Amino acid sequence: MAEKHPKPNFPLLEVEHFSFGFEEQALLKDLSFTLQKEAFTLVGGASGSGKSTLALCLNGLYPEAVEGWKQGSIRFRGKEAEEFEKGSLSQKIGVVFQDPESQFCMMKVEDELAFVLENQKVPSSAMEKKIDSVLEEIGMTAHKHDVIHELSGGQKQKIALASILLMQPELLVLDEPTANLDPVSSVEFIELVNSVQRERQCRVLIIEHQPDDWFPLLERVLLLGRNGSILADGSPYDIYRSKQMLFEEGIHIPLFMQPPETLVEKQNPDCREEILKVKGLAFFRGEKTILSDVDFQLNKGEFVAFAGENGAGKSTLLQLLARLIQPQKGHIVFDGKPLNDWGEGALRQKSGYVFQNPEHQFITDSVDEELSFGMLMNEKTDVKTRVELLLKKFHLKEHQHANPFSLSGGQKRRLSVAAMLDDTPDILFFDEPTFGQDAGTTEELMKMVTALQREGTTIIFVTHDMELVDRYCGRVLVLSGSRLAFNGEPEKLWGRQELLKQARLRLPFRKREEKAYGIVD
């Protein structure tokens, strides 16, 4: 196919001795690389290494939009970033940010896309055609008139992509685009990006912790080190072969390049003592049934996952169990007593909740205060030592005085989890605790969670990560069509092909491999 973007003699992007920081602190250090041929490049690196910051510098938002400084240069097609008219570089280098919702300005899909075109001064007479064409390209024609906040996570991600595609970017930067998607939506989104790239002949930079599903598309991997400088830059196979270096930096290695995993021995506790009992639970939002007829019980010390497609009601169920919201029908019994009979103080002491959006949890102005807040409330001793330990375990020590809102996505998530892990509560509710985390932190987090489980804490994870379900969970509950569609061991779920399809779940890597080799039917 003919190249859509003419190729002058200049490389697409040249980053030369580029550094960026705030006050004395350099976040990106002396980066030099050129992008030209490769269709897909993955930018990886430990959480906090500066990947999102790099994306913001590339499209010209930083240092303009913040009080930051920069050294060195970024050139696009031979022209210095600062020589571009305000806002025009972000059309050539289009970034889809980590949280697509932060990108939307309008209520409805077509208005959002029209807004983007308006900013580009496209005449109204030409808008409809462009909107229809981009919606067709991403397979969202049927959703033209939909309200954005009523779309599923995967659909929102597609609309965020569409709004960037309308600017005809030559370089498309996607910052953890599949982190919030259910397993099938995630694969579909990757296929979509692949077809967009082939059709438009643009170049794509993917910022991602988990390289697995992107791997077949990747031509190059560029890793940032914890100190914000380039750690490695080369072909995917060469980079991911350096296992020791990746391990030390806490970077995920593709599953197929890891030694055959021995499954973590799941701790299926003998304990038959019930901690939660749910009967006839139903929850509605207006006319919409979110959950109905949900019955199950959990025992002390179990490690349970809630799985299901985007919008299936997993977070809703978790919030109901933690009494953050009230059901319209049904009963919940917690530790032998109706949930509503518990006093607020006693309930909060017995349980911990990690929100899907970590920012919903922050109540203080600094990382160390955030960690000590609960301890002081519960009149704990040794607060300083306990805080130090958590800072160290969660790699937050050098940010202890930072405002929680200024942290990177992964750091925010680590802080929200760490704030719940000091104690040994009876039950811990986690809404997607591992998304956007590097390998090192995921490992550390799972060690701490399983240690708590050994001490008798019941753990509930809402997760899209089937590897995690496979390795750690004794039980998985699948929500589909507003009902509880499965309640049992993960191994049994992996045998239920139809249900997996219906709930938009995937087999974990281990089972996909077995299937590929004909070991299972």
Ligand X SMILES: Nc1ncnc2c1ncn2[C@@H]1O[C@H](COP(=O)(O)OP(=O)(O)OP(=O)(O)O)[C@@H](O)[C@H]1O
Residues near ligand X (CB under 6 A): 22, 27, 45, 47-53, 66, 153, 182, 285, 290, 308, 310-316, 399, 406-411, 436
Q: Give the shortest CB-311-to-ligand X separation in angstroms.
A: 4
- Residue of this chain nearest to ligand X (CB atom): 410
Distances (CA, A) of 9 to 3, 39, 42, 91, 207: 14, 18, 24, 21, 27
- Residue 92 or 314 with smaller CB distance to ligand X: 314
Handedness of CA 502, 505, 509, 511 (dihedral sign): negative
Q: Give the shortest CB-398-to-ligand X separation in angstroms.
A: 8
Q: Give the shortest CB-411-to-ligand X separation in angstroms.
A: 6
At 448, is the secondary structure helix, strand, or coil?
helix
d(CA 333, CA 296): 11
Handedness of CA 36, 38, 39, 42 (dihedral sign): negative
- Residue 92 or 413 with smaller CB distance to ligand X: 413
Is the CB of residue 380 less than 8 Å from the CB of residue 386?
yes
- Residue 254 or 311 with smaller CB distance to ligand X: 311
Is the CB of residue 354 less than 8 Å from the CB of residue 347?
no
- Residue 97 or 334 with smaller CB distance to ligand X: 97
DSSP character string of 158-187: HHHHHHHHTT--SEEEEESTTTTS-HHHHH
Nearest partner of 225 among 44, 354, 55, judged by Cα: 44
Q: Give the shortest CB-56-to-ligand X separation in angstroms.
A: 8
Tokens of 357: 């959006």
Tokens of 166: 């309308």
Q: Give the shortest CB-253-to-ligand X separation in angstroms.
A: 16
- Residue 266 or 413 with smaller CB distance to ligand X: 413
Nearest partner of 418 among 322, 321, 350, 352, judged by Cα: 352
d(CA 385, CA 387): 5
- Residue 436 or 490 with smaller CB distance to ligand X: 436
* CA R_g for the chain: 24
DSSP character string of 279-304: EEEEEEETTEEEEEEEEEEEETT-EE
DSSP character string of 308-343: -STTSSHHHHHHHHTTSS--SEEEEEETTEEGGGS-
H or E stretch at 306: strand 303-307
- Residue 137 or 182 with smaller CB distance to ligand X: 182
- Residue 67 or 341 with smaller CB distance to ligand X: 67
Nearest partner of 477 among 273, 271, 308, 356, judged by Cα: 308
Q: Give the shortest CB-229-to-ligand X separation in angstroms.
A: 13
- Residue 127 or 446 with smaller CB distance to ligand X: 446
- Residue 253 or 383 with smaller CB distance to ligand X: 253
Is the CB of residue 118 less than 8 Å from the CB of residue 78?
no
Q: Give the shortest CB-434-to-ligand X separation in angstroms.
A: 12
Is the CB of residue 351 less than 8 Å from the CB of residue 428?
yes
Residue 379: alpha-carbon gap to chain centroid: 34
Q: Give the shortest CB-37-to-ligand X separation in angstroms.
A: 25
> Do the bridges between strand 303-307 and strand 458-462 make them parallel or antiparallel, or are there none, so unpaired?
parallel
Q: Give the shortest CB-407-to-ligand X separation in angstroms.
A: 5
Q: Give the shortest CB-27-to-ligand X separation in angstroms.
A: 4
Q: Give the shortest CB-317-to-ligand X separation in angstroms.
A: 7
Q: ∠ CA 221-227-233 to the nearest 5 degrees?
A: 20
Q: Give the shortest CB-134-to-ligand X separation in angstroms.
A: 23
- Residue 269 or 311 with smaller CB distance to ligand X: 311
Q: Give the shortest CB-285-to-ligand X separation in angstroms.
A: 5
Q: Give the shortest CB-4-to-ligand X separation in angstroms.
A: 29
- Residue 227 or 424 with smaller CB distance to ligand X: 227
- Residue 203 or 314 with smaller CB distance to ligand X: 314
Which residues lie closer than 8 Å to 225 by C-beta, 6 or more apart? 45, 46, 49, 231, 249
d(CA 73, CA 366): 33
- Residue 45 or 94 with smaller CB distance to ligand X: 45
Is the CB of residue 82 less than 8 Å from the CB of residue 62?
no
